Structure 1
Amino acid sequence: HLPFCALLYYILHALNVGSESKFSEFSMISVNVAWHLLELLKRTTVHGESNSALIIGPRGSGKTALLNHVLRELTEMKQVRENLLEVHLNGLLQTNDKVALKEITRQLHLENVVGDKVFGSFAENLAFLLEALRKGDRTSSCPVLFILDEFDLFVHHKNQTLLYNLFDISQSAQTPVTVIGLTCRQDILELLEKRVKSRFSHRQIYLTNSFDFKQYIRIFKEQLSLPAGFPDESFAQKWNKNVQHLSEDKTVQDMLQNLFHHTKDLRSLNLLLMLAVSNVNVHHPLITASDLHEASKQSRMDSKANIVHGLSVLEICLIIAMKHLNDVYEGEPFNFQMVYNEFQKFIQRKAHCMYNFEKPVVMKAFEHLLQLELVRPIERPSVRAQREYLLMKLLLDNNQIMDALQAYPNCPTDVKQWAASSLSWL
């Protein structure tokens, strides 16, 4: 028998590592799509043909899983494994062309080749890097695969220089280059400049989360079940039998259905299962329905509502005053003076439950809400602008406020009643 800590680690590891293979199985990626992408990359790596393509789909639809599966198939070919160079860029990390070029140089291991050379333009620098990859006989080049994750963020680079040069090189016959972009934006082509769009091959692969709830339950069971070769066979049988009972439990199915309707992204399901499995210990060896419900609450917890739980009663009152201003003026911006006046109306009506703070103290509380980003200014404040009259917008909706108040410890009853009232205190 394995020590229990090793067992728990094994389960957590299995949930994390096994997710990709099961993810790709149930994401309804057709064999034709994978074959098409594989052939596209083979034409680059084997025949030296340059290409470009976009993989488009919502988060969790299997874009990265599809690409990783194809790359594994590709690298099993000896000829490809020895020649193919991969460059992975991410729009969240490479925020401008200078950073992107530095990362390309690092991944191609050409830092020593570039040295202290000075280039006149981005295009010259990139062309030099690709020229440095030519083989000794200088008749052919190593094929390079550029993978641009969060592709839509590269569109916002100045003049789209990186995309222009990559697509331009992918059209030339000198260097075999394939550019693969992954994005969630369905309108991505509309964001490309005309000169960039003209150099793109317009190959687009669309993916969707098309599985139904029955398949979602099946994924839930397979993700949570222990494999047949698990060392402790008797425990594995108990565990898998318990998983089967959970999948048939009405309350668990209702909870999973809510998650399914909220998002089909299987990473959300994996997070839910990871949180539930983390409660397993020696005295609690099997997952229960209550573990899953508690994990569901944690995974879908509202971060802004959590911030509200830590505010003072005065700050809560200011948020309620802003809520009423939003209701009365139908979401129009407000300023501190309007919030202060609303707060004063409440104090005058319910003076026995709240201390009447001086205006500078109330201003300090208002500025704290601004620092917590629960309130934001409509425009950047100028040096001469009076703080009391800067137009603001509340970043909480009514449901978030009311839910946070229900969980707020020792909140005065009059404050809750003020928040629940449909009209401002006049």
Structure 2
Amino acid sequence: MPESRLNLYKQAILRNLHSPDTRPSSLSQSSVNDIASKQLSDLINGTVTRAEGNSCLLLGPRGSGKSRMVECCLNHLSVKPIVIRLCGWIQTTDRHALREIGLQLLQQTGASILTDPEPGASNSTLTGNEETNPFLDRSADLSTSTLPPTSHLHALIPVLLTLDRPIIVILDAFDLFALHPRQSLLYCLFDAVQNCRASSDNQGIAVIGITSRVDTIHLLEKRVKSRFSGRTIRTAPSCDLEQCLALVRAFLQPSIPIDEQTDIDEWNQVWASSVEEFLEDQKTLNIIRETFSVTRDMKALIRIMTGCVLHLKSTRPYLSSATLSASAELQRSRSSNLHLNRLSYPSMCLLIASVHVNTSGQPSFNFEMLFDIFRDQVRASSSAPVQVNGGSIGMAFQDLATAKIFISVMAPSNAAKEFTKYRCSVEREVIKKVIEKSAQTNLKKWLNKAP
């Protein structure tokens, strides 16, 4: 196939994969998501058209269409609201979320937000002055820029109700916001929703949380939960294996404009026959079945297909099971030790201590449990230093928790940090490889003592 024609197909297929329509054709199998879409649409319309204050949690497994459902409902609104999008993976603290809200409001309203309006100003605190705005910091290095204090949330969030357009706040990875200390952001948002009254002064506000964690509501503090409506809209995976194959076939057979090439019909037939041959290959079907059995998230299969399409060349213009297998291997495998080779000595000791705790029948642990095991090992071995290059055991534990190697399994509470329960996200075999590469004989012996 000529390079120019191959590029046309690659561009068209990649467009399909970038914005896929994963809705199944069978109404009976999509009834759950159809009901969820109608409920979400009614909630957003109530905020936009009747100035209501609404909140809900959109709950469903990965790949069930939660984010796409929200965007679809927003695209069909007759009135364009102000949409604030926050993500728990990016706005890791309430202060980062506070700055992001200020930036997005500036982009959509063209005005800054100040906490201290001038005397005689309207109840809206929007102004064009950006120099003294505490919510905006335009430093080149965001990691060192000054963030507004969390206390400003109580000044910023009520301002949302005074704007001249409805507000839609979308909290992606909602469960991560629930893990923030004191949950100040959620408290202020839900309190604003509860205080919203349909009037000429308020245009309405809706807070939509998106998550795949089923116990998210139990993570909310009592004062936050009392202001949350408790409305949960559930979604479900939208296709079975047969529909998955049908979607893959639709992705790989794009419609090429006739005016691009005069003989495009002939090439379409050649490409369609190559796609059918590709999908009838038993190795191809096995890879698709394996992926579908692990996760029903179509995004996983789309990433595999994207890698397969990108490797097409004029000397190898058609899809094959070999390229699909190579692409699947890249998507499924990951670095076994991540950045563990750069861990300090105390950090490696804590990882070994977590292995001992796990093999004793306790999958979760806290700092005190690991410290007791570490202290016993230090007493038994004079070659195990407590501090190396200024790194203490307490700092090492905090570093592992920050790196998500130790993951919290408890909801936020007022309990002391040393008693918060964690679990280790790294497998024992990976820890064993890291210890072996460290060339620490005493650590190898300690790890081998674990049953």
Alignment TM-score > 0.5, same fold: yes
Match of 2:217 among 175, 181, 189: 189
- Residue 391 of structure 2 is matched in structure 1 by none
**Deviation string for 1:267-312 (max 9, x for gaps)?**
110111011112211111111111111111121123116989x99x
TM superposition shift of 1:13 = 2.9
Give 3-state SS (helix, strand or coil) of 1:268's partner: helix
Q: Letter of the 2:175 partner, please give it.
A: D
Give 1:25 deviation, angstroms: 6.5
TM-aligned CA deviation for residue 236 of structure 1: 2.2
Contact 1:91 1:150 (8 Å CA) reproduced: yes
Shift of 1:225: 1.7
Q: CA RMSD in A?
A: 4.5
Alignment of 1:215-226 (within 5 A): 215-226=243-254
Give the gaps of 5 or more residues in structure 2: 114-125, 135-148, 343-347, 363-369, 378-383, 389-395, 408-423, 434-447
Query: Counterparts of 1:266-305 in structure 2 under 5 Å?
Result: 266-304=298-336
- Structure 1 partner of 2:95: 98
Note if 1:125 corresponds to 2:156. yes
Displacement of 1:129 in angstroms is: 4.8
User: Which residue does the alignment assign to 2:205?
Assistant: 177
Give the match's secondary structure for 2:56.
Answer: strand
Assess if the C-alpha contact under 8 Å between 2:24 and 2:239 holds in 1. no
Query: What percentage of residue pairs aligned between the two structures are identical?
Result: 27
Q: Could you tell me which of 80, 84, 87 is aligned with 1:87?
A: 84
Whether 2:282 is the aligned partner of 1:250: answer yes
- Report the alpha carbon displacement of residue 248 of structure 1 after superposing the two structures with TM: 2.0
SS class of match (2:50):
coil
Return closer, same or farther for 1:208/1:400 CA change in 2, 3 Å cut-off: farther
1:179–1:234 CA distance, 2 compared to 1 (3 A)? same
Aligned-partner SS, 1:22 = coil
Q: CA deviation at 1:400?
A: 10
- 1:22 maps to which residue? 22
- 1:377 shift after superposition: 10
CA offset digits 1:349-370 (Å, max 9, x no partner): xxxxxxxxxx9xxx9xxxxxx9
The alignment covers a number of residue pairs equal to 348
CA distance in 1, matches of 2:324, 2:43: 43
Counterpart amino acid of residue 178 in structure 2: V
The one-letter code of the counterpart of 1:22 is: T
Q: How many Å separate the matches in 1 of 2:425 and 2:104? A: 44
Give distance in 2, aligned partners of 1:65 and 1:394. Answer: 30
Tell me: CA distance 1:394–1:216, structure 2 relative to 1, closer, same or farther (3 Å): closer
| SS in structure 1 of the partner of residue 213 of structure 2 | coil
Question: CA distance change for structure 1 residues 130 and 98 in 2, over 3 Å: closer, same or farther?
Answer: farther
Tell me the equivalent position of 1:159.
182
Question: Counterpart of 2:103 in 1: which secondary structure?
Answer: helix
Contact 1:24 1:65 in 2 (8 A): no
**TM-score normalized by structure 1?**
0.68
Flag the 1:190–1:286 CA change in 2: closer, same or farther, 3 A.
same
CA-to-aligned-CA distance 1:363-394 (integer Å, 9 cap, x gap): 9xxxxxx9xx99x899xxxxxxxxxxxxxx99
Aligned partners of 2:169, 2:156: CA distance in 1, in Å? 16
* Cα distance change, pair 121–291 in 1 and its aligned pair in 2 (3 A): closer
Q: How does 1:34-49 map to 2 (within 5 A)?
A: 34-49=37-52
3-state DSSP of counterpart to 2:22 = helix
Please name the residue that 1:390 is paired with: none
Return the alpha-carbon distance in structure 2 between the equivalents of residues 190 and 209 of structure 1: 24
Q: Alpha-carbon deviation of 1:157?
A: 2.3
- How many Å apart are 1:15 and its aligned residue? 3.5
Match of 2:70 among 67, 70, 75: 67
Q: 1:37 to 1:216 in 2, by over 3 A?
A: same
Q: In 1, Cα distance between the equivalents of 2:290 and 2:317?
A: 27
Structure with a larger share of its residues in helix = 1
Matched residue type, 1:224: L
What letter matches 1:283 in structure 2?
A: T
Structure 1 stretch displaced more, 7-16 or 295-304: 7-16
The CA deviation at 1:201 is 1.4
* Corresponding residue for residue 384 of structure 1: none
Task: Say whether residues 1:108 and 2:139 are aligned partners.
Answer: no
Once residues 406 and 54 of structure 2 are traced to their aligned partners in structure 1, the CA distance between those partners, rounded to angstroms, is: 46
- Look at both structures and tell me which one has the larger radius of gyration over its CA atoms: 1
Taking structure 1 as reference, are residues 305 and 242 closer, same or farther at Cα in structure 2, changes over 3 Å only? farther
Partner SS for 1:195: helix
The answer for the alignment partner of 1:241 in structure 2 is 273
2:10 & 2:169 partners in 1: Cα distance?
35
Under a length normalisation based on structure 2, what TM-score does the superposition of the two structures give? 0.64
Contact 2:13 2:253 in 1 (8 A): no
Tell which deviates more after alignment, 106-115 or 187-196. Answer: 106-115
Structure 1: where are the runs of 5+ without partners? Answer: 135-141, 312-317, 339-358, 364-369, 379-392, 403-422
Cα distance, 1:243 vs structure 2: 1.5
Give 1:229-378 correspondences, 5 Å limit: 229=257, 231=260, 232-304=264-336
Distance 2:274 2:245 in 1: 14
Query: Is the Cα contact below 8 Å between 2:86 and 2:171 reproduced in 1?
Result: yes
Measured after TM superposition, the shift of residue 396 of structure 1 is: 4.1
Task: Indicate the larger mover: 113-122 or 291-300.
Answer: 113-122
Q: Tell me the CA shift for residue 211 of structure 1.
A: 2.3
Distance in 1, matches of 2:47 and 2:192, equals: 13
